[in-house]
Structures are given as C-alpha cells and as structure tokens.
Amino acid sequence: MENIAKALRVLKLPDTLAPYNGAFYYKEASFLVEKRITDFTKRVNGKPTVTSTFEVRKVVSNTTGYGFNLLSDFIHEFGYTLISDTLLDKRQEYVVTSSGPFAGQTYWYPEGRLTMTATEAGAVFKHVYNPFKNTTLTGWPEITKGENPSISILREDYVKTSSGLSTKPSKSYPSYRRDELIKLSGMSYTDIKEAYADKFSILNGDSSTNVKSVGVAVEVAETSTADNEITSHYTGSVYYNGIDTRDFKPSGLLTSYNKVYPGHVTRWILYNGAINYSAYGATWVIQEPSSTINTINVVAGTEFSWNLQTRTLTYNSNIPAQLHFQYEELPAQGKNQSALEIIQLS
C-alpha cells in the first residue's frame, strides 16, 4: 500500500521525481590512491628511481535509505537546486559563521552535482563533488579560500629490488594542494572529483513488503478568544510510503536496513532560550508512543510553560523560538531512522 503523490508532498518534492521511489541498501564510495614505487633496479646517479601512479578504488559501505528522502535531503538540507528531473546542482559558496568559537570566520562550502538515472530496477544516483578540505586540522578556514585547497591521499609505498616487488606496502597519508595533485597525477580537477564520486542504487521494491519512503507533516489550525488571544493547534503525522501511520500501520514491512519495521515514537521539541534537556540542547521535549494523538496547543507568552492536562505549550515570544516535530524508529536513542519538521514560532 502506498500513495506516491502524498509521499512527494510530505518530502516537498515535485511530482516529476516520482520515478525515484524506492530504497537503497548500500553506498558505493570511491577514492584516490597513490601507488609509489622505489625502484632499486633502476638508479640515477646511484639513487633509486621513484615513480607514482594513481588509481581509483571503490568501497561499499552500509549506508542505507530511501530515494525520495535522499533527494529531499539534498534539496532542503544540503542546498542543492533542482535543475531538471535528472540533475541537482550546487555551486561553491562562502558562509560567515555566526556563532561558536569560529564566529566571524568565512568558510567555503564545496560545489557538487547529483545525477539521477532511471533503470529497469529503479534508479542510480551519482554524487560528484569537491573532495578537498575547507578547514585546517584545528577547525579554522583553509588559507587559500577555496582557490587551492588540500586533500590527504592514501599512499602505498612499494620497494622493487632484484628479488621483485614488495607485496606489503607501507601506508601514509600525505597532503597535496590541488595544483600539486593535478601536476603529479596527470589528472584534471574534473577527473579528481570523479575519483571521489558516490553511487546509490535505488531499488523500486514492492510497497506491500518494503518501506520506500518515510516522512512527517504538521497540520496547523488556529482559534482565538474574545480578547483576541490566538491559540495554534499543531498535529503531527508520520508517513510510511505516503500513508499516515494512524490510517495504516507499516507493521511487517522491511526497512532499508533490512529489518522489519520496529515501531516508532514521536517528539515535540522546543528551542526557546533555556536548555532544560541537555541531550537535545532544548527547552522542552515530550516523547510519546506512535498511538498517541499528538496534537498540542501553542500560545505566545513571556515565559515557557507546559500544561500536560490541556496539552498547552506556552513559549517566550520575546526571544527566538523554534518548534520541531520528529519521529524516530525504536529503540529511540537518537540514532535511528527519523524525520523532522521545523516550525519557526518567533
């Protein structure tokens, strides 16, 4: 059972991305390796010759997820722009940090492209991005401001003698500036970015047996009293495959991490100055079972309070206030599959 149109709406995606409905069960990452050979059988002025070649290696990780959710993350969290039904793009940008120990510092953030290709089984997403570092080891902005940043490369050192080539290389991680790496490897900047591409294989499984997307949505209604005091009523809903879990439980469906749906909880989280819940850095948190009717009533005031009997949350409207609705799969320890809706109150 699924509602693709609703799944797209919940994740704020256009209908044209419907072909990418499905799950991925791993990520294929790639990276560049320098293979350096010190050859004692070929000497110049008595010294062994040293040559380097570069190769692209691939590794499969246990990163899992859902096609719609990944596209939503790229667009709404990572700042990518939907160029066409097959391409997301992001330009390199510069951002001044406004808080923390590096407040006032300007950092560059890398450009990238995500291409989506439909296949008989589903789709393939390929993410090509700038892999160079934008910070120093101590967290300060890298000194070239993105013009000639550095990257650490796995280097494998082999020794060649009359007995042959060593089979167990020594390993190190030298750092190269972009122009140095281009000159040494003979690769272009485009080639280097391709060498670090990530690939996701989206499988369009059966919605009667598999989870293919997850998301949350918040409905808002308002009432006012005779003296014009406005109360906002927020109701959070959780969707699997575009179906509200209050209408149809996803019990028995397989998740992207190859486990049966374990159940979930919901949370309302308020950020409004004071930190009363250190685990979330939040002013207020209420976590409830999925079966709870999780409507809360929200009123602007001059200080925070929560009335459990009336389910009324009062926030201090004189300072910034942000309300989150979140769901998380069990066991709810802050590390499992989840989704989030953010409401700016003040």
CB 297 within 8 A of CB 313: yes
**What does DSSP assign to residue 249?**
-
Sign of the Cα torsion 261, 266, 272, 278 reads negative
| Mean pLDDT calculated for residue range 119-137 | 97
pLDDT at 226: 66
Q: Is the pLDDT of residue 13 over 70?
A: yes
- Percent of the chain clearing pLDDT 90 (strictly above): 92
pLDDT at 333: 81
pLDDT at 225: 72
| Residue 97: other Cβ atoms inside 10 A | 13
CATH 2.60.40 domain span(s) along the chain: 214-344
Burial class for 144, CB neighbours closer than 10 Å (0-12, 13-18, 19+): middle
CB 322 within 8 A of CB 315: no
| Residue 164: other Cβ atoms inside 10 A | 9
Residue 168 identity (one-letter amino acid): K
- Percent of the chain clearing pLDDT 70 (strictly above): 100
Comparing CA positions, the residue from 113, 109, 85 lying closest to residue 96 is 109
Instruction: Spell 281-317 as b/e; 16+ CB within 10 A means b.
Output: ebbbbbeeebeeebebbbebeeebebeeeebebbbbe
Q: Using one digit for the tens of pLDDT, what is the confidence trace for 25-39?
A: 999 999 999 999 999
pLDDT at 227: 74
Taking domain 214-344, whether its CATH number is 2.60.40 is answered by: yes
| Mean pLDDT calculated for residue range 240-258 | 96
Ranges of beta strands (E only) in 45-111 are 47-61, 65-66, 81-84, 87-90, 93-96, 106-109
Cα-based angle 220, 247, 223 (whole degrees, multiple of 5):
20
Q: Using one digit for the tens of pLDDT, what is the confidence trace for 142-176?
A: 999 999 999 999 999 999 998 999 989 999 999 99
| Mean pLDDT calculated for residue range 79-103 | 96
Q: Is the pLDDT of residue 228 over 80?
A: no
Q: Is the pLDDT of residue 218 over 90?
A: yes
C-alpha span between 332 and 191 (Å, rounded): 42
Q: Using one digit for the tens of pLDDT, what is the confidence trace for 263-299?
A: 999 999 999 999 999 999 999 999 999 988 889 999 9
Please report which confidence band the pLDDT of residue 206 belongs to, taking 50, 70 and 90 as the band edges: very high
C-alpha span between 70 and 67 (Å, rounded): 5
Q: Using one digit for the tens of pLDDT, what is the confidence trace for 173-188?
A: 999 999 999 999 999 9
pLDDT at 292: 85
| Mean pLDDT calculated for residue range 107-121 | 97
Q: Is the pLDDT of residue 196 over 70?
A: yes
Sign of the Cα torsion 76, 79, 81, 87 reads negative
